[in-house]
Amino acid sequence: MKSFETDMLAILPRLKRYARSLSASHADADDLVQDCLEKAFARRETWRGENLQGWLMTILTNLNRNRLRQAIATPHMVDYDAAGAVAAEHAESDPLARDRIAAALDRLHPDQRAVLMLVVVEGYAYGEVATMLEIPAGTVMSRLSRARRTLAAILEGGNIVEFRRNT
């Protein structure tokens, strides 16, 4: 029988990917994951024994929301690492493409980015994401649709290169 800790270790790479998609830097993402794991261990008794991954993603999402609220209440400068927003296990072969995708993801609204990462990268169903983010499934679908459209528009706009002829 697997232990709580072993199961958490298996989920850790997905937590890190998701945290990086929500955070401004790798360091912020690591802090977010650490806080999530600390909170999960402290509240281990509240876990009902089903869907540990969903429970941890919900904790991570709520911690991120609290950080964003706190940042709004107490504004400060953030050292931003644009590559930190890319949620992929394997590095893109073209570093310029990776940077373009990271910059495009950064321009998404945080709610849209969270839904996009959970559905597209992590592979969660709409209902699971709705439960994790505590929003209706219809809201998940609309945020995902808007995120995809916005991301496509941003990336498409970056492909235009003007050439001027000297006449």
pLDDT tens column, 1-16: 468 888 899 999 999 9
Distance (Å, whole) CA 154 – CA 159: 9
Tell me what the pLDDT averaged over the chain comes to.
80
Are 32 and 64 in contact, with CB atoms under 8 Å apart? Answer: yes
Q: Which helix (H) or strand (E) holds 54?
A: helix 52-73
pLDDT score of 94: 65
Q: What is the pTM of this model?
A: 0.59
Highest mean pLDDT among 79-93, 116-130, 148-162: 116-130
Closest CA to 84 of 66, 58, 103: 103
Q: How many helices (H) and strands (E) does the chain have?
A: 7, 0
Summarize pLDDT for 29-65 with one digit per residue, the tens: 999 999 999 999 999 888 888 889 889 999 998 898 8
Q: Which fold has domain 4-157?
A: Butyryl-CoA Dehydrogenase, subunit A; domain 3 (1.20.140)
